[in-house]
Amino acid sequence: MTTTTRVDYSALIQPTRVHGSLYTDPAIFADELERIWYGGWVFVGHASEVREPNDYVRKNIGPQDIIMTRDRAGEIHLLVNRCAHRGNLVCDAPSGNSSAFRCAYHGWTYRNTGELLGYPYNKGYGGKGNLDLKLGVVPRVESYHGFVFGSFNPEVVPLKEHLGAAAGELDRLARLSPEGTVSLDAGWLRHQTHANWKLLAENETDGYHPQFVHGSIFSVTGSTIGPLYSDNSTAVTRALGNGHSENDLRPEFRKFAEPMRWFGTTPDRVPEYVAAMRAKHGDAAEEILIEGAPHVMVFPNLFVAEIQVFNIQPISYNECVQFSTAVQLDGAPELNKRMLSQSIGSVGPAGMLLADDTEMYERNQRGVEQRLPEWLDIRRGVGRESTDPDGFRIGGATDETAMRAFWQHYKNLMEQ
Ligand code: FES
Ligand SMILES: [Fe+2]
């Protein structure tokens, strides 16, 4: 007989501090899998990765191995990569185009919607069509601007409800495309990281670290990013509800009122793009081109960092994978080329931003595994927070408003 002791999450998660064991306890990680990764919505991939009928690509929901397929009618499915016979993987290739998957072990075949098509030497089963078996199918699949989310929980709320105000940030990304749509088909880089996934999720909208962790790269490139995350910045950190958060940089960009400054360039460097946006949006184009792209963390694993998208996959309490890709705006080839090369420069294998962050994640994991002090402090800015007209908590550019909101949501989920 096994006994399970329930973790007291309200003791471990307090308004301005969180306990170190949240990053180091395998039992807490097991709880997170059930409640967050299998119980809620998780970002899986993008519809543009399976553009054609019968395209498929291997993905993940937490440690689960998922095949994202598009059937011949155009519908997207998330299949669990496990044969219904004796549990072998049915798909080995990272991506491809096929209407069916054939298990390598005993040759059972499945349609890309999950149905069992056939099994060799069927007399052993009394003939054809006798087996009431199929691949595991993720019961809920919904998408927003092509961002595909899945949930193992059939009762989960509609995706739009989970996204809440974060949906508006994905709208903001899509409207930067002259066609109003984005693609994430440039390929994903995969960074294995020896750190708890929450250290990454918390860092995505931590405006306190950039000047220190990325100071060297800002200084050698003459980047304008640094001042956005200083105590003089007019940018704000906003808790968007449901654990989502953003660094809203628009106040800074509006101050300068320079189109394309958000992208570190000027309209004359990307004339075709700017012309296409002006043709589509008329006078409204200026504001769009000044305000730029969102910097938003969608709980628990989707991070849109202006021109890159990240997908965080937890593997264990102290290991995760960061997948990253360049945003591609449909109808903007001129910008897309630059987005790709900037992404390689910042988050590629020899990139200058993600390497710095990853060093911090791994040191952070080593640090929180030490015994004392037991707590992590997240009180920064608590005394200067306010509520914006939409009812969201906002703090200064370098404040820990987003972390406090992340933990509040996390606590709610873990206590259910
Ligand atoms: S395990 Fe797949 S066919 Fe036997
Ligand atoms: Fe960073």
Full-model pTM: 0.97
Ligand closest to CA 86? 1
Spatial strand order in the sheet of 13-14: 13-14, 17-19, 375-377
pLDDT exceeds 50 at position 1: no
pLDDT exceeds 70 at position 13: yes
CA of 32 to the centre of ligand 2 (A): 25
Which residue out of 79, 106, 109, 134 has the highest number of ligand 1 atoms within 8 Å of its CB and is therefore the one to mutate? 106
CA of 30 to the centre of ligand 2 (A): 28
CA distance 343 to 346: 5
CA of 167 to the centre of ligand 2 (A): 23
Indicate the class that CATH gives domain 43-144. mainly beta
| 87 CA closest ligand 1 atom index | 1
CA of 258 to the centre of ligand 1 (A): 60
> What confidence tens digit (pLDDT) does each residue in 274-290 have?
999 999 999 999 999 99
- Please, which pLDDT band fits residue 216 given cuts at 50, 70 and 90? confident
The per-residue pLDDT for 377 is 98
Exposure class string for 107-129: b at 16+ Cβ within 10 A, else e: ebbbbbbbebeebeeeeeeeeee
**Tokens at residue 399, please?**
């404040």
CATH 2.102.10.10 domain extents, the chain = 43-144
> What confidence tens digit (pLDDT) does each residue in 24-70 have?
999 999 999 999 999 999 999 999 999 999 999 999 999 999 999 99
Which residue out of 103, 110, 133 has the highest number of ligand 1 atoms within 8 Å of its CB and is therefore the one to mutate? 103
Q: Ligand 1: residues within 6 Å at CB? A: 83, 85-86, 88, 103, 105-108
> What confidence tens digit (pLDDT) does each residue in 384-400 have?
999 999 999 999 999 99
Q: Whose CA is nearest to atom 3 of ligand 1?
A: 106
Fold for 160-414, please state it: Naphthalene 1,2-dioxygenase Alpha Subunit; Chain A, domain 1 (3.90.380)
User: Could you tell me if residue 53 is left (phi over 0), alpha (psi between -120 and 50 degrees) or otherwise beta?
Assistant: beta
CA of 356 to the centre of ligand 2 (A): 7
CA of 361 to the centre of ligand 2 (A): 10
Reference 354, options 400, 406, 293, 312; nearest CA is: 312
CATH 3.90.380.10 domain extents, the chain = 160-414
Which residue out of 80, 85, 119 has the highest number of ligand 1 atoms within 8 Å of its CB and is therefore the one to mutate? 85
Ligand closest to CA 347? 2
Least confident piece of the model among 85-99, 222-236, 356-370: 222-236
